[in-house]
Each structure stands twice: as structure tokens, then as C-alpha cells.
Amino acid sequence: MKTNFRLWSTFFLGIWFLYFSVSCSNIDEVPSKTLQLQWEKSTPLPEPRAGHAAGILDEKLIIAGGTYWEGEKGNWTQKLFSSSTHAFDPKNQTWERLPNAPIPFGYAAFTVVNNTLYVLGGYDGKQESRKILSLKKQNGQYKWEIFGELPQTRLFGWAGTIDNSIYLLGGVVRFEPLDEIGTCCTSKTATNQLSILDTKNPDDGWKTLNPYPGSKRWLFSAETDGKNLWLFGGIDSSKDAKNPTRFNDALRYEIDENRWQKISPLPESAMKATPLVPLYIDGKILFMSFSKTVWQLDLKTMIYSELTSLPEEAFVDRFVWLDNKIIGAGGENKIESRRRRSEWTFIGEYK
């Protein structure tokens, strides 16, 4: 009996020692340092522009449309609107020219659904647009089509995707430049409307959901985590474009409940760096700013924190999460004033 007890004791001690050894080895394998966000500049955008559409198609970043200026420092003469389309391959870090859009456009809302880029509204240089354009690969070639129309014109709105549906939020109804050459903008026609379109059943049309609460605004930040919509900040320049009213509030739209709720507002230091460009990654929303600073909101703790800054000051219209990298290109920079369009392509990676 004593012999059996000793045998069993030895057996269990061996199992415990093996478990403890494996556990310790697993602990040693955990990185001793938290991964840090690191940035680099990649191949420049061939035709620098801002106010463009952007999204991921076939594992490439697509840049379409947008605006740029004729002239030079101290003598910018006219804002022009583009129909150019380019694709950036993150694997070899090269740009490829794609077919032009059927019309030039800038300041449109945009999103990707099922590997199709949708461009909603915008301005073509002469008039506001209600058109919905789509870009996708057909028979090995990229092709633009006119998918449909919006119920009304829309600029500076935000579009996001959940399942097969497009959510269109806010913006303005008219292009309201400050002068004849296109200097932007006031927001007298701002709307707080939220609408949804099922791309699988477009004939059902747009359905109106609860508008966001509070003051109407533009240049807000918005993003989706696949379950909710998130709205941050924005400005009201309807009365004074040079000294607009700035908002630091943040809102979450619960899709299942068709309800908006207030969440933790933007920190004051982040507000100083607006406008902010958001990107959802694995339970967090990152905000890239015009002042290089990068902020993060943890959606579990609702705590904001600051990350590694961008290498240059630029207002990139959209960043994407592609090939485990944060990628964005074009937009405005502060060299020779904001009318200078940025050729920089930024790549951020956790290392």
C-alpha cells in the first residue's frame, strides 16, 4: 500500500513539474515590451490631391477623384476637381493607374462593400452631385459604373459599411466656398441625417434612421466597428468660417436599437490637433491628426491615449488597415499653405 502511494505521489509530482515547466516556458515567450507603432514614408502618390475617395479593393489601396490647385505659392489661382484613379500595392509599394471615374468629383462620401468601392455625391467643379458611382474588377479589368442616385445632394458626408449595407451620415447639401477660386468652406446647409441602403436590394431605396443629436456640423470624424457607428467632434462654420465653433463630444449609434448615446468626449489636447481621421483596428479606434499626433480610443475601457506621431503634418482623407499595416496617402499638407496637396504615402506598423 505504501509502495503504491509512493508511486502515485511520484507520478503526480512529475505531472505537476511538467505543467509548471511548460507554463514557465510560455511566460518566457511573451514579449517583454509592448508593440510600438512605427511610421515610414513610402512611394509618393503620382497625382497629389485631397478630398478624394479611398478604400481597399483586391488587397490594394484605391485613391479616386479629389481636388488640387492650379498656381503656385502665393498665387493659387483655381481649385480643380479630378477623375483620376490609382491603386497602391503594399507588397511592392508601387502605384498603378486605373481607369478614370466617369465624372470628376471631390468631397464625396465613400465606402467599400463586397470588394466594390462606392462613391456617393460630391462636387464636380460646377455642381453638386446625387450620383452614386461604383468601381470593381470585372473580367480582370477595373470598371466604373453609375450605381444609382442619392435622394439629395451631399458633400463632406461619411459613409461606412456593415454587412451589405451602406450607412450615410451627415455632411452638407451645397458646396459653400469662401471665394470664386474655391477656398473652402462654410456649413450653412449641414445636415445631421443618417440613412441606410442595402446594396443587395438597391430598389428598396434609402431608409432614414435617427439623426445624430446636438448641433449640426461638418468635418467630424466617424467610424464603424461592424456593430456600431461612432461620431467624434466636428465644427460649425455656418456663421464664421474663420473662427468656427468646435465640438469635442463623442457619440455611439447602436444599430440594433436605432439609438445614439454620448460617450467619453475627445481630450482637449486631441482637439487642438483636429481634424482627426479615424480607423478601427481590433477593438480600438485610432485618430491620425493634421498636427502629426496619433490618438487611440480603447472601446472596452473608453480611455484615450497618445501613440507615435506621423512623420509629417498632413490631413489624409482616409487611412486603411491592409496587410497588417496602416496605410494612407494624399490629402493636404502645410507646406506653402493648406492648398498644397500632399504626395506622401504613410505606412504604420506595430513592431
**Residue 345: predicted pLDDT:** 98
Instruction: Indicate if the pLDDT at residue 232 is higher than 60.
Output: yes
Residue with cell 477660386: 181
Q: Which domain holds residue 253?
A: 34-350
Name the grid cell of 313.
503634418
Task: Give per-residue pLDDT as tens, 55-72.
Answer: 999 999 999 999 999 988
- At residue 58, the 3 state secondary structure works out as coil
Q: Which of 84, 89, 86 is nearest to 67 (CA)?
A: 84
The answer to the question of residue 29 being in a domain is: no
Give me the number of domains the chain comprises.
1
Q: Which residues pair with 177 in a beta bridge?
A: none
The answer to whether the bond into 24 is cis (omega within 30° of 0) is: no
Q: Domain for residue 207, yes or no?
A: yes
Asked, for residue 24, whether it belongs to a domain, the answer is no
Cα separation, 32 vs 30, in Å, equals 6
Question: pLDDT value at position 339?
Answer: 82
Is 314 part of a structural domain of the chain?
A: yes
Q: Can you tell me the distance from the alpha carbon of 95 to that of 348, in angstroms, rounded to the nearest whole number?
A: 18
User: Is residue 17 exposed (0-12), middle (13-18) or buried (19+ Cβ within 10 Å)?
Assistant: exposed
Q: Residue 351: helix, strand or coil by DSSP?
A: coil
Give the pLDDT score at 274.
75
Confidence bin at 8 (pLDDT 50/70/90): very low
Rounded distance, CA 63 to CA 49, Å? 9
Per-residue pLDDT, averaged over 243-260, amounts to 95
230, 220 Cβ separation under 8 angstroms: no
More confidently predicted of 290 and 224 = 224
The answer, yes or no, to whether residue 30 has pLDDT greater than 70, is no
- The CA distance from 158 to 134, in Å, is 16
- Tell me the β-bridge partners of 155: 172
Within a domain: residue 188? yes
- For residue 196, count CB atoms less than 10 angstroms from its CB and return exposed for 0-12, middle for 13-18, buried for 19 or more: middle
CA-to-CA separations, 274 to 142, 232, 278, 289, 313, in angstroms, rounded: 35, 10, 11, 6, 12
Mean pLDDT of all residues in the chain? 89
Least confident piece of the model among 22-31, 33-42, 159-168: 22-31
Read off the pLDDT band of 34 (50, 70, 90): low
Instruction: Judge whether 148 and 91 are in contact, CB under 8 Å.
Output: no
Flag whether 252 is in a domain. yes
| CATH code: domain of residue 289 | 2.120.10.80
Query: By C-alpha distance, which of 146, 112, 114 is closest to 130?
Result: 146
Q: Is 212 part of any domain?
A: yes
| pTM score, whole prediction | 0.89
153 or 21, higher pLDDT: 153
CB 104 within 8 A of CB 115: no
Whether residue 26 is predicted with pLDDT greater than 80 in this model: the reply is: no
Residue with cell 515547466: 21
136 in a domain, yes or no? yes
Tell whether the model's pLDDT for residue 25 goes beyond 60: no
At residue 102, φ and ψ (nearest 5 deg) are -65, -25
Do residues 279 and 326 touch, judged by C-beta distance below 8 A?
yes
Q: How far apart, in whole angstroms, are the C-alpha atoms of residue 220 and residue 231? A: 7
Position 270 scores a pLDDT of 86
* Mean local confidence (pLDDT), 120-146: 97
CB–CB of 61/86 below 8 Å? no
Is the preceding peptide bond at 275 cis, omega within 30 degrees of 0? yes
